[in-house]
């Protein structure tokens, strides 16, 4: 894990340099919070993590840096459709499985999904595809278990 983290930070430094962004301690800590997250974190989750190391940081500073990272391609936004900004540092091509209940997002390898083809005749006039992201929506194991428990409890109460 330490090697992957070191590699991710080295990659972050390189991407900052390539984009002309200053590599600061504050930006490093923000990026580390994204890398260290086992989820695809929101800016608010990043803020809670970063505050442990930089207590004086503001949520506005987190948002400002996240926007800078997104605009420069240092981070990616996972999806536009989940009601809140979700981030990731995994820059390799991949797709997602999303829980419709708790909104957890899990990565799946790009190779796990067959190629998607979209005839250009189906695109709006002048539209240019930049990237294809596949998102599978379902219910995770934890939410399924919680639903079963709730359903079982409701049945027991009604009898």
Query: What local confidence, expressed as pLDDT, does residue 155 receive?
Result: 67
pLDDT along the chain (159 residues), means of 10: 79 89 94 87 93 96 93 80 72 84 85 88 88 85 87 69
Query: What local confidence, expressed as pLDDT, does residue 57 receive?
Result: 97
Query: What local confidence, expressed as pLDDT, does residue 132 receive?
Result: 82
Q: 132 near 115, Cβ under 8 Å?
A: no
Domain architecture of the chain: domains with CATH = 1-91 (1.10.10.10), 92-159 (3.30.1490.190)
The rounded distance, in Å, linking the Cα atoms of 157 and 151 is: 10
Query: What local confidence, expressed as pLDDT, does residue 61 receive?
Result: 96
Query: What local confidence, expressed as pLDDT, does residue 49 receive?
Result: 95
pTM of the model: 0.62
Q: Give the residue ranges of DSSP H helices in the chain.
A: 2-19, 25-36, 43-53, 59-72, 141-158
């Amino acid at each position: 894990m330490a090697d992957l983290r070191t590699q991710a930070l080295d990659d972050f430094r390189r991407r900052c340099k390539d984009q002309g962004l200053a590599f600061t301690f504050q930006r490093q800590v923000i990026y580390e919070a994204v890398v260290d997250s086992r989820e695809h974190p929101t800016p608010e989750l990043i803020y809670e993590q970063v505050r442990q190391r930089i207590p004086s940081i503001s949520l506005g500073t987190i948002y400002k840096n996240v926007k800078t990272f997104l605009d420069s391609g240092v981070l990616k936004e996972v999806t536009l459709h989940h009601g809140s900004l979700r981030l990731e540092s995994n820059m390799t091509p991949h797709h997602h499985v999303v829980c419709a209940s708790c909104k957890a997002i899990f990565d799946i390898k790009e190779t796990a999904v067959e190629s998607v083809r979209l005839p250009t005749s189906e695109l709006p006039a002048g539209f240019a595809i930049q990237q294809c992201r596949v998102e599978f929506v379902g219910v995770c194991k934890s939410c399924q278990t919680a639903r079963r428990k709730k359903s079982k409890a409701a049945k027991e109460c009604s009898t």
